Chains A and B, each alone.
Chain A
Amino acid sequence: MKANIFLLHGYSGSPIDLLPLEKILSGRFPESEIESIQLPGHGNPQEVPSFNEDLYLKTLADKLGLIADPGRKKIYIGHSTGGTLLLRYFRDSGIVPDLLILIGIPADIDISFLERWSIHSDGGKAISFSSTAKLVSFINRQSKLVFETPFPILILNGEEDELVPPDHAFVWRERLRTSSRIVIIPSGKHHLTVSTAVKFCADTVTRAVEDILSGHEPDDMNAASGIAGIEPELAEFIRISSSSCRHIAGSPGGKRAVGREPELFPVLSTEPVFANIEITTRCNLECAYCIRSGRPHPVKDMDKRTFARILDLFPHAYRITLVGLGEPLLHHNPAGIVAEAVSRGRRVGLVTNGMCLDKEMGQNLLDAGLHSIAFSLDAPDQKTADIVRKGSNLERITDNIRLFTRAAKKRGR
Chain B
Amino acid sequence: MFSAVSVNTVPCLEELVNLVSDLNVHILMLTDLNFPRNKEETLWKNINPETAAAVKKATLSAFSKKLPVLSVRRWRSSG
The chain A residues found within 8 Å of chain B, CB to CB, are 289-291, 351, 374-381, 384, 387-388, 398, 401-402, 405-406, 409
Contact A405-B5, Cβ < 8 Å, known A378-B16, A379-B12, A384-B12? no
Chain A proximity mask over B1-37: 1 for CB below 8 Å, otherwise 0: 1111110110010011011100111000100010101
**Residue of B at shortest CB range from A406?**
B24
**Residue of A at shortest CB range from B14?**
A380
How far, in Å, is B17 (CB) from chain A's closest CB?
Answer: 8
Q: Is the interface of A mostly helix, strand, loop or mixed?
A: mixed
Contact A291-B37, Cβ < 8 Å, known A379-B16, A380-B15? yes
How far, in Å, is A398 (CB) from chain B's closest CB?
Answer: 6
Q: Which A residues lie within 8 Å of B4 (CB)?
A: 289, 376, 378
Q: Which B residues lie within 8 Å of A378 (CB)?
A: 3-5, 9, 16
Within 8 A of A (CB), among B12-66: 12, 15-16, 18-20, 23-25, 29, 33, 35, 37-38, 41
CB <8 Å contact, B16 and A289: no
Determine the distance from Cα of A402 to Cα of B20 in the docked complex, in whole angstroms: 10
Determine the distance from Cα of A66 to Cα of B51 in the docked complex, in whole angstroms: 75
How far, in Å, is A282 (CB) from chain B's closest CB?
Answer: 19
CB <8 Å contact, B23 and A398: yes
How far, in Å, is A242 (CB) from chain B's closest CB?
Answer: 31
The chain B residues found within 8 Å of chain A, CB to CB, are 1-6, 8-9, 12, 15-16, 18-20, 23-25, 29, 33, 35, 37-38, 41
Determine the distance from Cα of A351 to Cα of B35 in the docked complex, in whole angstroms: 18
List 14 interface pairs A-B (beta carbons < 8 Å), by A numbering.
A289-B33, A291-B35, A374-B2, A375-B23, A375-B25, A376-B3, A377-B1, A378-B4, A380-B16, A380-B18, A381-B12, A388-B9, A402-B23, A405-B23
**Residue of B at shortest CB range from A351?**
B2
How far, in Å, is A177 (CB) from chain B's closest CB?
Answer: 37
Contact A379-B29, Cβ < 8 Å, known A289-B35, A291-B35? no
Determine the distance from Cα of A405 to Cα of B8 in the docked complex, in whole angstroms: 29
How far, in Å, is A321 (CB) from chain B's closest CB?
Answer: 11
How far, in Å, is B10 (CB) from chain A's closest CB?
Answer: 11
Q: Which B residues lie within 8 Å of A375 (CB)?
A: 1-2, 23, 25
Q: Which A residues lie within 8 Å of B33 (CB)?
A: 289
Determine the distance from Cα of A291 to Cα of B25 in the docked complex, in whole angstroms: 27
Determine the distance from Cα of A401 to Cα of B5 in the docked complex, in whole angstroms: 20
Determine the distance from Cα of A28 to Cα of B20 in the docked complex, in whole angstroms: 54
Q: Which B residues lie within 8 Å of A351 (CB)?
A: 2
CB <8 Å contact, B19 and A374: no
How far, in Å, is A304 (CB) from chain B's closest CB?
Answer: 26
Taking A374-B2, A376-B2 as known contacts, 15 extra A-B pairs with beta carbons closer than 8 A to each other, sorted by chain A number, are A289-B38, A289-B41, A291-B35, A291-B37, A351-B2, A374-B29, A377-B1, A377-B3, A379-B9, A380-B18, A398-B19, A401-B23, A405-B23, A405-B24, A406-B24
The answer, among A290, A379, A380, A409, for a CB contact under 8 Å with B24, is A409
How far, in Å, is B35 (CB) from chain A's closest CB?
Answer: 5
Q: Which A residues lie within 8 Å of B23 (CB)?
A: 375, 398, 401-402, 405
Determine the distance from Cα of A402 to Cα of B19 in the docked complex, in whole angstroms: 11
